[in-house]
Every structure is written in structure tokens, then in C-alpha cells.
Amino acid sequence: MKYNVPNLLTIARIFMTPLFLALLLWASLPHRFLIAAAVYGLAALTDCIDGKLARKYDQITNFGKLVDPIADKILTTSALLGFMTMGLCNIWIVVIVLTREFTISSVRMIAAAEGVVIPANFWGKLKTASQMIFTLVILLLGEIFAVLPQNVLPPQLTLSAISNGLLWITAVLTVISGVIYLKDSKNVIDFTK
């Protein structure tokens, strides 16, 4: 298979994910939040660039339509799992997101078996964008909280409280985007086969 630049950027995003997670979870690494944010930001940037390049140079492929959302899910889910490990993400947020992702991936596989490729919709893109932006915000706040002297902020203003608040927003968007995707898929997939 011949790869174009957008597809290579998508593949690069998949390979950047374990590096990001390893840096985030490396507790003794100085400025780990900032370094992890840089890697995550670069990976998220590939998501913006690959779609624009594919559209601009007419390089939209079925590979890109299928693998690009999977690369996004790998990146965003790894951040949630890393945050959960660190006490920055409620387990129910992870369950909601993973349930949606597995459900939508299953629908995509059914569609692919019928020769139909269903691209991400606006709500799915909004959900992914919010996850990526909020993850970067949490990472940057993590760096700030790590270097601030203790007792500077009010005790209720913790990184965990802020992080969970932001991630609950993405969980709600995840549910909305999943419901809309399932509704739209009924119009193009024969679920009786």
C-alpha cells in the first residue's frame, strides 16, 4: 500500500501515544507534565494537519477515514487512562468514553463489511477536539501545580477537581456524539444482515 503524507501523520500519531504516556507516568522526570504536553500537543497537531492536507491535495482515502479516528481514540484514551492512574480522572468518565468508542468502532466495522465508510461527524470532531484541548489544559495546569508552592491556592481548588470537571464535559459530548452517530448510521447500514 502506498502511503501519502496525511496517512503517515496519522500513523505517527499512533506511535507518539506510548511515548506521551510513558513521559506522563514517569514520576521522577522533572517537568514531566510540560514534556508530556509538548509530545501530546505535537500528536494532536498531526490530527489537525492530516485532515487539512488530505482535503487540500485530494488525498482522502478509506485508510485515512478509518484509521484517523482510531488514532485519535488511541491518543485521547491513553491520556484518560494516564490521568485515571494519577487520580485526575474518575473511572466512570473512562467507562463512558470507552463504551462509546467500542460501540462506534463496532458500527464502523459493520459498515465496512457492507462496503460503507462512515466518516466522523461534527459532534465526534467536537468531542475529540474537547478531549485534546482539555488534556493539554490539564497537563499545563499539572505543571503549574507542580511548581507552585504548597498552600498558595484554596484547598478545594485541586488539580484533580479541575481535571475531573473538564473531563466530565468531554464525557457528555462523548455520549451526545455517540447517540447522533448511531442515529445517522441507521440510514446507511442494514443491521438485519
Per-residue pLDDT reduced to its tens digit, 37-93:
999 999 999 988 988 888 888 888 777 777 888 898 899 999 999 999 999 999 999
SS3 per residue for the chain: CCCCHHHHHHHHHHHHHHHHHHHHHCCCCCCHHHHHHHHHHHHHHHHHHHHHHHHHCCCCCHHHHHHHHHHHHHHHHHHHHHHHHCCCCCHHHHHHHHHHHHHHHHHHHHHHHCCCCCCCCHHHHHHHHHHHHHHHHHHHHHHHHHHCCCCCCCCCCCHHHHHHHHHHHHHHHHHHHHHHHHHHHCCCCCCCC
Checking if the pLDDT of 135 tops 90, the result is yes
**pLDDT computed for residue 14 by the predictor:** 95
What are the boundaries of each domain within the chain? 5-185
Q: Of 33-37, 64-68, 91-95, 156-160, give the lowest mean pLDDT range.
A: 64-68
5-185 classified as CATH 1.20.120.1760: yes
**pTM, whole model, 2 decimals?**
0.88
Looking at residues 111-120, what average pLDDT do you find? 76
Looking at residues 82-111, what average pLDDT do you find? 92
Checking if the pLDDT of 112 tops 80, the result is no
**pLDDT computed for residue 106 by the predictor:** 86
Checking if the pLDDT of 190 tops 60, the result is yes
Residue 157: pLDDT band with limits 50, 70, 90? confident
The cell numbers describing 103, all together, are 460501540
Residue whose grid cell is 501519502: 4
**pLDDT computed for residue 142 by the predictor:** 96
Q: Of 1-5, 16-20, 94-98, 173-177, give the lowest mean pLDDT range.
A: 1-5
Q: Are 128 and 120 in contact (CB under 8 A)?
A: yes
